[in-house]
Amino acid sequence: MDGQVTKASVLDAIQKGRTEWDALLAEVGEERMTLPGPDGWSVKDVIAHNTWNEREMVRLLGDHVLNPSDSDRLWEMTTDQRNEEIYKMYRDKPLDEALAEDRRVHEQLVQAMEHMEDADMTDPARFPGMPPDWEPWRIIAGCTFNHYPEHIEPIRAWLESFDKPQRVNEFLK
């Protein structure tokens, strides 16, 4: 983030990142969201993964305390282990439910952000249990607008693979 970190700047970054994410999902289309990608995860699986991260931020902002609950064990794992557990938790969820939950949790995140103050973004003391060297906005960013691009590029590459046979056929004509 450039400049002073405020509630408005973090919320704006979340909304911009989410706009790009939603545009990508529209490009993928629901008919391809359950197809496995190169890593075995479908776009639906990535949606559920992102939803889990946003839900954690809703909880952080709503409770105004770094106080993991059921997800304690997940946060104590390595990132890869946590991601695998999240995948297992949601892999059988129907697409329509995953999409509805994704929209609902994102709305909750935006509402929770609207109730924050500028100081909440930079002062870890405002979140009991948060280490003093952490910056709350960085935690939020890591689960939202800095997290989306980690998935956008691989999904874009996966999408391009659908167009390659068509391009080859056009070249051969």
Q: For residue 115, which of 2, 1, 4, 11 has the smallest C-alpha distance?
A: 11
Q: Would you call 1 helix, strand, or coil by DSSP? A: coil
Structure-block tokens of residue 34: 């359950």
* pLDDT (0 to 100) of residue 69: 57
pLDDT tens, position by position, 94-111:
999 999 999 999 999 999
pLDDT tens, position by position, 121-172:
999 999 888 889 999 999 999 999 999 999 999 999 898 887 665 544 444 4
Buried/exposed code over 110-125 (b: 16+ C-beta within 10 A; e: otherwise): eebbeebeeebbeebe
Decide: 114 and 104 in contact? Cβ < 8 Å.
no
Task: Show Cβ contacts of residue 99 under 8 Å, excluding neighbours closer than 6 positions.
Answer: 30, 47
Structure-block tokens of residue 151: 């998935």
Instruction: Give the alpha-carbon dihedral of 163, 169, 170, 172, to 10 degrees.
Output: 150
* pLDDT (0 to 100) of residue 120: 95
* Cα 62–chain centre separation: 18
Distance CA 31, CA 104 (A): 21
Q: For residue 52, which of 60, 26, 159 has the smallest C-alpha distance?
A: 60
